[in-house]
Structure 1
Amino acid sequence: MAADTTETSPTNFVERLKTYVRTQKGSILAAEIVLSLIILICYAASRYGGYTAVAICEMAIAIVFFCIFMMDLDKQIKVVNWVWSDFIRAFTGALCYIITSLICVIRGAGDGALIAGGVFGLIAGILFAYDTYTIYLQIKSDRSQTAGPTDERV
């Protein structure tokens, strides 16, 4: 007899991917990955290739978090506090992109690819900052829900 295959959660990878990208967090992470790839291409095409490290690191870390959240591994691996890890990832990503993008836009006279990478980097910095803000709101709401009365007198 065959096993029951009418479960509600998506079982194959493509269905999980489609379902997760439709969520707010999934669409933000997907946009961060795509923007990081565009920035990587722009920085690689410029005369100064040293800025590609920021785009590579941020894209790789965003892909890791995307896969962890998509496959619900954050609910299975309890050793890591995934919300705070994601907060730190998004916050450092916003800082790195904003700082390096400002440097690229200011320094990039005559190098169109560097200026384009800087502009896309500023957009990515804003997106990472928005992600940081949404994670902060999640942390704040989780704290208010778990906070109980502090009066121990009964």
Structure 2
Amino acid sequence: MIGDDNMRLPKSLKKSLPLLGDIRRQQSEALKEDRSLSLSEVQFLTHVLANGSEHAQSFLGQVSFVKVVSHCRCGCPTINFEVSREAERGHSDGRVVVDLLGRTPDGGQVGILVFADDGFLSELEIYELDELPHPFPLPTLESLHLFEAAITKG
């Protein structure tokens, strides 16, 4: 689990990872919305799912059924979803569908998590690993790489 003290991560990276409790607190403090994904959000979510694991790819068909129901009040680009049950259910080994690292256009390092609940996309979490001014944008598609690859290199 993210933030687990038994994980073999560099101390600097461990300190930067969000704890599950922090994520849940942020969700409860989210600002309500009722909108479709923006074009940049559609492109980003489609890219991370299409280039993720086989499990992540099973959620691709849901992107056109996503409705944004809230966003984080801190200024990060985190958004929470509802997906129409008309969409086909995706398959994953757990709640985290995608776990990536990337950089904003200004070079700030961020983590990217895509969550699903009961086979339906539920959240795109973008969290800062560097101190970034808020609000900050989505990371560039070219900068994205798997979280596990960063750990084995570092």
Q: TM-score range by the shorter chain?
A: under 0.3
TM-score by length of 1: 0.25
Q: Greater strand share, 1 or 2?
A: 2
Q: Greater helix share, 1 or 2?
A: 1
TM-score by length of 2: 0.25
Q: Name the larger-Rg structure.
A: 1
